[in-house]
Amino acid sequence: MNVHLKVQPHHLERGAYLYIRQSSMRQVVENVESARRQYALRGRAVALGWRDEQIIVIDNDKGESGASAAWREGFQRLVSDVGMGHAGIVMGLEVSRLAGNNADWQRLLEICALADTLILDEDGVYDPASFNDRLLLGLKGTMSEAELHVIKARLRGGILNRVRRGEFRCPLPTGLVYDHFGNVTLDPDMQVRETIIHFFEMFSRLGSASQTVKVFRNEGLLFPSRLHNGDTLFRPLTASTAMRVLNNPRYAGAYTYGRRQFRRNIDGKRTLRARDIDDWPACIPDAHPGYISWERHQENLKILKANGRGFEAARASIPREGPALLQGRAVCGQCGSHLRVRYAARRGRQEAWYICNRARIYRGEPMCRSIAGPPVDEAIGMLIAEQMTPAAVELALEVRKEIQARHEEADRLRCRAIERAQTEVDLAQRRFMLVDPGNRLVADTLEGEWNEKLRTLASAREERERGREHDQFILDKAVHERLVAMTADFSELWKDPDTPSRERKRLLAHIIEDVTLLKLPAEGTTKLHVRFKGGKIQTLTTMNPKSSAQQIKTKPNIVERIDKLLDDYIYPEIAGILNEQGHRPGGTARRGCHNARFTPLKVAYLIHEYKLQSRYDRLRQREC
């Protein structure tokens, strides 16, 4: 059948759609001949009878893969116009240009058959409504999809083979670079190296990413960040940057590939999901120089996991500012879950409560346990003070050395920032001196850059002076004497109100693994099973605080005293005797009632409440 006979007058009344696509931006730039061949199909449409103004070119999918139609706006527009009957013919250089996915291709063929739209490629003209043409087009679509799969498999296989040997070059994080031989080395910029080293040392001391970010902010330190053009820019450290650096094994000298996986959704879009380390295609420790060891990196990951909030037993959250001493380390003796901390304002201060409410949150059951925090924290504090007394002097001196080393490192980083700023000032000055004075536009621009670099240098010097004054204030003579005085008695340091609760918890974390709390309401006590880091277990017992009803209850000895006085005295006389002897009713525990005294009515109430024999009954019993 002559191909021209397939083109009917009603086809020529509609538009001719020319779809042009290249799979990547690199192909758009380099494969110019392919684009020319696709645009040349306009001549085929004109030869078949379409006017030039009827030809509609859709080329806004350049640089997009044909694996899916989800993100190809041009292809979606083409399918829409075909379905609305606007297209008489659809032109593409080959099937793979229109769709690399057989499902998308078959959907286009179905719509073209229903709308009586022809399809043209480099080999000829086809009518999707014809069985033979439809069969041929279907085979072409299947072969196109198979071709795409084979090409991807070959490329992927070659990449994975190089990955297993650790030779595939991946983008490196800030602080690592490739040398002239393609080997990974530390950044030659000394300021970048020292800043990253200081970051890891600070995290090792504090054990918290957020606390490390706060220290960088308080000390005015900036963290390096590599731009896409390769330049390094120093910015304030953020929590997301800190977490990204701590989780990246490249800083530990390990070659890794495939830590995250792209997964395609039903709509064709891709999502990024993290993989477990066992599922990584490659993980080669000690493959290149790093800032920390592989063992230190694994320890950092454990710390980050333990710091995360949650019910998991492996998680002991980072020390925070609240007074609850066992935050993240208290375990329920009833069900084995980690106890959570809640605070209540009482008597003008915050009091902690350890609660086990996992069953209530997840299953709607009653709350398992609620244990008052002050008695528990007091017992644990006394235990820590007893355990740590022999090592108090050594501990205090180590703390002072750590603070001093941290300040010296911060000052060294500030000096690096000044050196970098001075280098940029010298460079800007030389550029300004070499310019032709007659070229005022260039000279003014370079002079502005020079002034900006001078302001940056002045700011760096001022920042160093402020930091040194702040550090000197912290390590002055008075602070040193106070620290040395406290080393003689660790309990004094522990009970010092100026010692932050967060620091107490950090110290406790080095000594105690966890504490299991078992509340015994019948006995009015709570058992504390303390498990130390070395494996030793010690059991303590604390008294449960009295309830409000118990606190306002009259003491038993006063009730016994009233019972004896009833033999000889009436109610007003009994009230006067009790007040003279300094006894007070139980209601004095209430707020604002601390000056309450016994009255005849109060005495009568106690006689009735405790079912004591009344004065009247006692007199009648005597007469009998």
Active site residues: 23
603: nearest Cα among 620, 624, 621, 578: 578
Taking the C-alpha atoms of residue 228 and residue 587, their distance in angstroms, rounded to an integer, is 73
Question: How far apart, in whole angstroms, are the C-alpha atoms of residue 33 and residue 93?
Answer: 12
Segment 346-353 long-range contacts (CB within 8 Å, at least 24 positions apart): 350/322, 350/323, 351/323, 352/322, 352/323, 352/324, 352/377
Tokens of 57: 């070119």
Among 192, 274, 269, which Cα is nearest to 234's? 192
> Tokens 């009436």 label which residue?
570
Closest CA to 369 of 317, 327, 333, 326: 333
8 A C-beta contact, residue 526 and residue 518:
yes
Q: What SS3 state is found at 403?
A: helix
* Nearest one of 279, 275, 280 to 256, comparing CA atoms: 280
User: How deeply is 29 buried, as exposed, middle or buried, from its count of CB atoms within 10 A (0-12, 13-18, 19+)?
Assistant: exposed
Q: CA-CA distance, 513 to 536, in Å (whole number)?
A: 10
**Dihedral Cα 428, 429, 432, 437, nearest 10 deg:** 170
With CA atoms as reference, report the closest residue to 395 among 508, 560, 304: 508
d(CA 493, CA 498): 9
At residue 330, φ and ψ (nearest 5 deg) are: -95, 130
Residue 496's CB is within 10 A of a number of other CB atoms, namely: 11
Query: Residues 6 or more apart from 500 whose CB is under 8 A from it?
Result: 321
At 354, is the secondary structure helix, strand, or coil? Answer: strand
